[in-house]
């Protein structure tokens, strides 16, 4: 957003004319009076007084024209009184009356014109101030009837990450995030094309791929026939508000989920342990070559899968507080590679761990669980073949652990729901992996985000603070 450079931006002192027109006009009136006295009576000098009043058109104080008109009247009357009697006194009288009438007609016309001009200039200044004030607080854009962008303000460029040259002449489709269906935009265009104001919330995608929400009002400008000739959109950034609303919804869901988890732990988990123990006893009593032994083993595996789902649910609903200590990234990498080496899903996956001598503050067990979840998702997205790059970037405040894969990326309609509990695109899964991973990272005071760059694949970014507060520790 542009800073306000002028401290008195909204103060409009009247411009000072290069010449004091009132004084100049009075001086010229005096010269005209002297000429009128010396010239013959038949020479009509009266209209010259009125003509000189036209100079007051450029006077910024319209009421001063009456002062000049009064002086001109006094000079005309004075010339009539001091003139010598003669045969042309009648002509002098007629010229004087005509001059005085012309002077006051011109004076009233100039005063009226001056006030109208002042009002028009004030209206233009007010419009300029209003646009300036709006420009400082809102995201502004105008489009023609075809939807091509004709104007954007600096705030629009800042939030969209596009330059003004990249936006002008383009359609707003350049910002389409893929969230809203075509019917949504059809209804939008149907509303404004009929000359009605449209209001709603839009999610846009910036040039760098980041997403942001805007509260939008689109106002059609109508011509004399009532048809739109231009559209003005006024937007406000509500990204943080939408994130807050999502967190509130999540907290409400978690509260309900916590109550359900307590029931599950008592009513499901304990019986599962008994069923598994009984099946193991039955399996041990069977002959080694019994065909039913395989069925029992399969049932035990299914019970283990169900128990794992219950464990995921309990971990997500009631996560333990992290036990944070200083740990090196090399130590975490070695632990990760050991666990991944025993997983057949990674047999054909090339894993590249960038060497990083970084000392991190984290719960090693919980952080490893997050990394395993992200890398497992990457392997499954690549269908067991490809490359996973793990790297660390550090600055004075944060360090970012990046997990990048060479998979197909994530569709836009799926991206918005990635961290929703129980949402999954897999044939088998609870949909709690990413939601649990994000909760773990947030308990560390950090963030977990996923992005799909234009080059392809998916990049998961785990951002954690370098120095943790006492509460986080």
Task: Note the pLDDT tens digit of each residue in 116-163.
Answer: 777 777 777 776 766 776 777 789 999 999 999 999 998 999 999 999
Using DSSP's 3-state secondary structure scheme, residue 213 falls into strand
Residue 146: phi, psi to the nearest 5?
A: -85, -10
Beta partners for residue 119, in sequence order: none
Q: Round to whole Å and give the CA distance between 410 and 418.
A: 9
Taking the C-alpha atoms of residue 371 and residue 357, their distance in angstroms, rounded to an integer, is 18
pLDDT at residue 237 in the model: 93
- Beta-bridge partner residues of 349: 386
pLDDT of residue 32: 76
- Residue 350: its pLDDT value, please? 85
| Calpha distance 7→341 (Å, rounded) | 65
Per-residue pLDDT tens digits for 208-251: 878 899 999 999 999 888 899 999 999 999 999 998 888 787 77
Q: Compute the distance between CA of residue 449 and CA of residue 460 in angstroms, rounded to an integer.
A: 6
Residues in the chain: 473
- pLDDT interval class at 6 (50, 70, 90): very low
pLDDT of residue 13: 47
Per-residue model confidence (pLDDT) at position 46: 62
pLDDT in tens, 261-286: 767 766 777 787 788 888 888 878 88
pLDDT reported for residue 4: 38
pLDDT band at 409 (very low <50, low <70, confident <90, very high): confident
């969230």: which residue's tokens? 179
Q: At 338, is the pLDDT very low, low, confident or very high (cuts 50, 70, 90)?
A: confident
pLDDT higher than threshold 50 for residue 10: no
pLDDT exceeds 80 at position 74: yes
Burial 136-160 (b: 16+ CB within 10 A, else e): eebbbbebeeeeebeebbebbbebb
Two structure tokens written together for 167? 């936006």
Rounded Cα distance between 202 and 172, Å, is: 12
pTM for the whole structure = 0.51
pLDDT in tens, 28-68: 877 877 776 676 655 666 677 777 777 777 776 777 778 88
- Domain 138-237 sits in CATH 3.30.450.20: yes
Percent of the chain with pLDDT over 70: 84
Alpha helices in 318-419 (DSSP H): 329-341, 364-381, 412-415
Output the pLDDT for position 265: 66
Residue 96 has pLDDT above 80, yes or no: no
pLDDT surpasses 80 at 19: no
* Residue ranges of domains in the chain: 21-135, 138-237, 243-317, 325-465
Which has more pLDDT, 9 or 99?
99
Q: Which residues of 418-436 are buried (b: 16+ CB within 10 A; e: fewer)?
A: bbbbebbeeeeebbbbbbb
On whether the CB atoms of residues 458 and 452 are closer than 8 A, the answer is yes
Fold designation for 243-317: Helix Hairpins (1.10.287)
> Is the pLDDT assigned to residue 472 strictly greater than 60?
no
Nearest to 216 by CA among 269, 180, 257: 180
Contact 107, 53 (CB under 8 A): yes
> What integer is the mean pLDDT of 352-378?
85
Helix, strand or coil for residue 120?
Answer: helix
What are phi and psi for residue 401, nearest 5 degrees?
Answer: -105, 115
On average, the pLDDT of the chain sits at: 79
User: Which of the four CATH numbers 3.20.20.70, 3.40.50.300, 3.30.565.10, 2.60.120.200 does domain 325-465 have?
Assistant: 3.30.565.10
């Amino acid at each position: 957003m542009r800073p306000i450079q002028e401290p008195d931006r909204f103060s409009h002192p009247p411009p000072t004319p290069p010449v004091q027109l009132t004084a100049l006009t009075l001086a010229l009136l005096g010269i005209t009076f002297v000429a009128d006295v010396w010239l013959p009576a038949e020479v009509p000098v009266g209209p010259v007084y009125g003509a000189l009043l036209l100079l007051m058109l450029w006077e910024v104080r319209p009421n001063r024209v009456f002062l000049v008109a009064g002086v001109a009247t006094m000079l005309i009357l004075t010339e009539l009184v001091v003139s010598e009697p003669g045969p042309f006194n009648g002509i002098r009288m007629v010229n004087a009356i005509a001059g005085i009438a012309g002077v006051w007609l011109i004076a009233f016309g100039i005063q009226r014109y001056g006030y109208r001009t002042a009002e028009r200039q004030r209206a233009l200044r007010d419009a300029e101030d209003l646009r300036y004030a709006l420009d400082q607080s809102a995201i502004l854009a105008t489009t023609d009837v075809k939807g091509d962008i004709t104007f954007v303000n600096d705030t629009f460029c800042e939030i969209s990450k596009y330059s003004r040259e990249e936006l002008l002449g383009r359609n707003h489709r350049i910002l389409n995030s893929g969230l809203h269906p075509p019917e949504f935009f059809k209804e939008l265009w149907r509303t404004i094309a009929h000359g009605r104001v449209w209001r709603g919330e839009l999610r846009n995608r910036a040039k760098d791929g980041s997403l942001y929400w805007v509260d939008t009002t689109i106002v059609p400008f109508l011509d004399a026939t009532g048809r739109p000739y231009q559209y003005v959109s006024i937007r406000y950034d509500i990204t943080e508000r939408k994130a807050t609303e999502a967190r509130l919804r999540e907290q409400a869901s978690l509260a309900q989920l916590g109550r359900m988890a307590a029931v599950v732990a008592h009513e499901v988990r304990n019986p599962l342990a008994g069923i598994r123990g009984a099946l193991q006893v039955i399996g041990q009593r069977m002959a080694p070559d019994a065909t039913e032994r395989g069925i029992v083993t399969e049932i035990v595996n299914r019970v283990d899968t169900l128990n794992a789902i219950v464990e995921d649910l309990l971990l997500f609903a009631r996560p333990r507080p992290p036990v944070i200590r200083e740990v090196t990234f090399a130590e975490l990498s070695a632990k990760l590679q050991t666990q991944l080496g025993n997983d057949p899903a990674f047999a054909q996956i090339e894993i590249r761990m960038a060497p990083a001598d970084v000392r991190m503050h984290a719960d090693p067990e919980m952080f490893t669980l997050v990394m395993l979840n992200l890398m497992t998702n990457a392997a499954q997205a690549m269908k067991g073949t490809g490359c996973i790059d793990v790297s660390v970037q550090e600055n004075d405040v944060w360090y970012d652990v990046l997990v990048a894969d060479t998979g197909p990326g994530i569709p836009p309609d799926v991206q918005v729901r990635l961290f929703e509990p129980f949402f999954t695109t897999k044939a088998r899964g609870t949909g709690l992996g990413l939601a649990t991973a994000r909760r773990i990272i947030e308990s560390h005071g950090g963030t977990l985000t996923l992005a799909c760059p234009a080059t392809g694949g998916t990049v998961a970014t785990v951002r954690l603070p370098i120095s943790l507060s006492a509460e986080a520790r």
